[in-house]
Structure 1
């Protein structure tokens, strides 16, 4: 069932990176996959606790009447609390190492 998205919800959802990423909520680590469709007017989020103890699934539609939240088979309060409280992890910064071989520069990615 759809319901109007609460204040701040759309902005918090947008802070979760597109694609698959990691983060934390309620003292647990999650993997979260956020997708965007229809020119950014529809969004899907699926998240699962890494220990298998929790699952979140929702759609958000940006309609002319305002953003509409559609949780997938779970209470709206659960997905709202998750999105408002979820903290995405910052990916490690990539560094490049430069090697010069016979006047040719080769860049290699270094992960922290």
Structure 2
């Protein structure tokens, strides 16, 4: 489920809605899509979400950047893409 939601974020820059706030999100892929970096910043606010996601043959691993994993998971499961 996390993989599908992360891959739903468009490559490059996009905007999402999360907890009734707008965020600018940048997604970058590395290693033929096996490593994904996401950085989301609240537009007009102070909040941010930052994580890396790794996909191997055996496991998928979420690595939050200096924040609780629960915060990142809540963001992944609840953001809404904006036009």
TM normalised by structure 1 equals: 0.72
Distance in 2, Cα, partners of 1:59 & 1:84: 15
- Give the count of matched residue pairs: 83
Q: Aligned residue for 1:36?
A: 29
Q: Aligned residue for 2:75?
A: 82
Unaligned runs of 5+ in 1: 1-7, 91-112
RMSD: 0.8
Q: Aligned residue for 2:11?
A: 18
Runs of 4+ in 1 over 3 A off after TM superposition: none
Q: Which has the larger radius of gyration?
A: 1
| 1:8-28 alpha-carbon deviations (Å, 9 max, x no partner) | 111001111000011100000
Q: Aligned residue for 2:42?
A: 49
